Amino acid sequence: MKAFLILEDGTVFTGTSIGSKREVISEIVFNTSMTGYLEVLTDPSYAGQAVVMTYPLIGNYGICQEDMESYKPWPDGYIVRELSRIPSNFRSEDTIQHFLEINDIPGISGIDTRALTKILREKGTMNGMITTDEGFDLDEVISRMKTYSVTGVVKATTCKESYVLPGEGKRVALLDLGAKKNIARSLNERGCEVTVYPADTKAEVILSTNPDGIMLSNGPGDPKECTEIIKEIRKLYESQVPIFAICLGHQLMALATGADTHKLKYGHRGGNHPVKDLETGRVYISSQNHGYVVDEDTVDPAVAVPAFVNVNDGTNEGMKYTGKNIFTVQYHPEACPGPQDSSYLFDRFINMMEVGKNA
């Protein structure tokens, strides 16, 4: 079946419908990863967005449920150049086409995703529509797209109630802002008992359990929308409990301590982004998925100092908080598959909890 991708600037791409046949309006973003498409599809940070995969062939190793980063896929839509319909992988349990269908995710294949990405790079992230309606009215569609915005996505993606992953080591409270499974798993593999809390959990509830450390997860949407969560994170900041924050958690900690964030032109989404550790000078290859960054010019050096920088564009990739056992990163040290250069950050967090307990 023929399908159309219509952009807010009036550009129309014609291709083939994949997945669900329903119509969807969403924010269109691109990811440059060559592998890990299932992890992309099941990353809650993509809630409210339709994802363009720049690598030309997607789906060639099928679907393996064990690799999912959440219990379901979250993007509003999926856009690819070519979809592999016959996967070749001994672990494959399903095709990506069927996976999209059963999860009601509309998509489009057969379009020039490189040309689409170039538009998004030059003009910036914009809204778009995926539709199979050949009789669409372009002016009417553009008018509808201009009113769309990504809202309420942290509430949609967080867990509904707290749960515990048993462990014999440090006790970590993980605030689920739309967390990928591998964050809790990375802590669990290091022996930690991980208690996962919904995003709206009060700081007093978390602190009353006397955790050895607190983890703030990744998540979707504009960090400034999370006004009530920011207030609770401020209380966590004022405690003496060691804190490690990733992506959205990193942004919310900055906002909770008086800094500001802003939206990037087209964001960082992919598995090959170089970041520099400002303390050691070493460069790591990181996996990233974010559209907002902390504005370093608004950070009070008495509160925090930059710890990592993006080598490509100079934007902030992490903070170290002055006089606190708190550090945060914009990228994903838990990312799997992909570069695992920065998985040591979980070990740093474990060590920080050890030191904090013995202090």
227-238 and 248-256 helices cross at what angle (nearest 10)?
70
247, 268, 317, 336: the catalytic one is 247
CA distance 171 to 219: 22
Domain 2-150 of CATH type 3.40.640.10: no
CA distance 289 to 292: 10
Annotated catalytic residue 332:
yes
Most distant pair of Cα atoms in the chain: their distance? 69
Report residue 180 CA to chain centroid gap: 8
For residue 267, say whether it is annotated as part of any ligand binding site: no
268, 273, 290, 332: the catalytic one is 332
39, 250, 334, 336: the catalytic one is 334
For residue 59, say whether it is annotated as part of any ligand binding site: no
For residue 65, say whether it is annotated as part of any ligand binding site: no
* H or E stretch covering 156: helix 153-157
Query: Digits of tens for pLDDT over the chain (359 positions)?
Result: 999 999 999 999 999 999 999 999 999 999 999 999 999 999 999 999 999 999 999 999 999 999 999 999 999 999 999 999 899 999 999 999 999 999 999 999 999 999 999 999 999 999 999 999 999 999 999 999 999 999 999 999 999 999 999 999 999 999 999 999 999 999 999 999 999 999 999 999 999 999 999 999 999 999 999 999 999 999 999 999 999 999 999 999 999 999 999 999 999 999 889 999 999 999 999 999 999 999 999 999 999 999 999 999 999 999 999 999 999 999 999 875 455 677 889 999 999 998 766 55
For residue 289, say whether it is annotated as part of any ligand binding site: yes
CATH of 154-358, one of 1.10.3720.10, 3.40.50.880, 1.10.8.870, 3.20.20.80: 3.40.50.880
Residue-range domain boundaries for the chain:
2-150, 154-358
- Give pTM, 2 decimals: 0.96
Annotated catalytic residue 192:
no
Per the omega criterion (within 30 degrees of 0), is the bond before 337 cis? yes
Annotated catalytic residue 334:
yes
For residue 219, say whether it is annotated as part of any ligand binding site: yes
